[in-house]
């Protein structure tokens, strides 16, 4: 089946820890995106990548980092510099200027 | 930054009724998309309307776009309990939003509750 997957579904982080969220797609999409969603809110763009080995900051990139070494993969690291990381994280992919396909999300909680 | 803004924030209707949600945006766009999100899940794309289109249909969904008013509406006809979800509009390809490439700007969504 073609699709986009995220893991883990739930993630718990202690203060001062870095954690990495996985995002994989087999849709042959060029572009991939990371969004953050807080309760009752819309999605805010963290990072996006339009091609392998290239990525750009979104609206709320501080405290996050990404890599794009393979077309299929776009992992997101939440660093200790992100002071309020508790949120629902959504990964998406697309061909350019078309609809985006979303993964099921990772819910991150800081203990 | 969030460009789209949905109205109303919440909507409660009975099965069989129609549901209308509105979206307003601020800058010029190449297209406008509507997505659905069930609680705690990822978003699912519903429909895309291009800036040169005025109306589009997909099953029980009807979307209109008025670029002069910078607004769009989503109509769900003959609603079902399974339509209960949050609905988001998203704008893409803004000529003034070069920082985000092909990424989308989402509103805060309309929460729709359809009761049997």
Q: Are A49 and A32 in contact (CB under 8 A)?
A: yes
Question: How distant is the alpha carbon of residue A73 from its chain centre?
Answer: 10
pLDDT exceeds cutoff 70 at B2: no
Contact list in B for residue A87 (CB cut-off 8 A) is none
Residues in CB range of A50: below 8 A, 6 or more apart: A30, A31, A56, A96, B101, B102
Contact list in A for residue B103 (CB cut-off 8 A) is 33, 45, 48, 58
Which DSSP helix (H) or strand (E) runs through B15?
none
Q: Spell out the per-residue pLDDT of chain A, length 111, in tens.
A: 569 999 999 999 888 899 999 999 999 999 999 999 998 888 999 999 999 999 999 989 999 999 999 999 999 999 998 889 999 999 999 987 778 999 999 999 998
Contact A101 B102 (CB under 8 A): no
Contact list in B for residue A9 (CB cut-off 8 A) is none
Contact A48 B4 (CB under 8 A): no
Contact list in B for residue A101 (CB cut-off 8 A) is 45
Would you state the pLDDT for residue B22?
A: 97
Burial label, B115 (beta-carbon count in 10 A; 0-12, 13-18, 19+):
exposed
Would you state the pLDDT for residue B30?
A: 86
Q: How confident is the model at residue B93 (pLDDT cuts 50, 70, 90)?
A: low
Q: How far apart are alpha carbons A83 and A85 in whole angstroms?
A: 6
Q: Which of residues 21-80 of B touch A (CB under 8 A)?
A: 30-31, 33, 35, 40-45, 48
Residues in CB range of B59: below 8 A, 6 or more apart: none
Question: Would you call B13 an interface residue with chain A, using a CB distance cutoff of 8 Å?
Answer: no
Q: How far apart are alpha carbons B89 and B3 in whole angstroms?
A: 9
Would you state the pLDDT for residue A20?
A: 97
pLDDT exceeds cutoff 70 at B99: no
Of B45, B93, B100, the CB nearest to A97: B93
pLDDT exceeds cutoff 50 at B95: no
Question: Would you call A32 an interface residue with chain B, using a CB distance cutoff of 8 Å?
Answer: no
Would you state the pLDDT for residue B116?
A: 92
Residues in CB range of B104: below 8 A, 6 or more apart: A33, A43, A45, A100, B33, B90, B91, B92
Answer with the residue of higher pLDDT: B104 or A9: A9
For chain B, give the percent of residues with pLDDT over 90: 72
Q: Read out DSSP for B47-63?
A: EEEETT-SEEEETTEEE
Note the pLDDT tens digit of each residue in B3-13. 678 889 999 99
The shortest C-alpha distance from B102 to chain A (Å) reads 6
Secondary structure E strands in chain A? 4-7, 10-13, 19-25, 31-37, 43-51, 54-57, 64-66, 76-78, 87-94, 101-102, 106-110
In order of A60, B95, B101, B113, the CA distances from B98 in angstroms are 16, 6, 6, 36
pLDDT exceeds cutoff 50 at B97: no
Question: How distant is the alpha carbon of residue B48 from its chain centre?
Answer: 9
Which DSSP helix (H) or strand (E) runs through B22?
strand B19-24
Which two tokens mark A51?
A: 């091609």
What rounded mean pLDDT belongs to chain B? 89
Contact list in A for residue B105 (CB cut-off 8 A) is 45
For chain B, give the percent of residues with pLDDT over 70: 89
Of B35, B101, B109, the CB nearest to A50: B101
Contact A59 B100 (CB under 8 A): yes
Question: Would you call A43 an interface residue with chain B, using a CB distance cutoff of 8 Å?
Answer: yes
Would you state the pLDDT for residue B83?
A: 98
Note the pLDDT tens digit of each residue in B46-83. 999 999 999 999 999 999 999 999 999 999 999 999 99
């Amino acid at each position: 089946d073609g699709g986009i997957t995220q893991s883990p579904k739930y993630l718990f982080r202690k203060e001062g820890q870095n954690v990495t969220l996985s995002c994989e797609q087999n849709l042959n999409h060029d572009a991939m995106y990371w969004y953050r969603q807080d309760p009752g809110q819309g999605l805010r763009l963290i990072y996006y990548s339009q091609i392998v080995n290239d990525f750009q900051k979104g609206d709320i990139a501080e405290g996050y980092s990404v890599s794009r070494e393979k077309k299929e993969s776009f992992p997101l690291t939440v660093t200790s510099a992100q002071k309020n990381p508790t949120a629902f994280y959504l990964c998406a992919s697309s061909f350019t200027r078309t609809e985006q396909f979303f993964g099921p999300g990772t819910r991150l909680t800081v203990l | 930054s969030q460009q789209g803004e949905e109205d109303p924030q919440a909507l409660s209707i009975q099965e069989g009724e129609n549901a209308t949600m509105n979206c307003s945006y601020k800058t010029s766009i190449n297209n406008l998309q509507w997505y659905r999100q069930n609680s705690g899940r990822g978003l699912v794309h519903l429909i895309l309307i291009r800036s040169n289109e005025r109306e589009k249909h997909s099953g029980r969904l009807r979307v209109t776009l008025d670029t002069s008013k910078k607004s769009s509406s989503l109509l769900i006809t003959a609603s079902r309990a399974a339509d209960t979800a949050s609905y988001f509009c998203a704008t893409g390809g803004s000529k003034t939003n070069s920082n985000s490439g092909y990424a989308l700007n989402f509103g805060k969504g309309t929460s729709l509750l359809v009761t049997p």
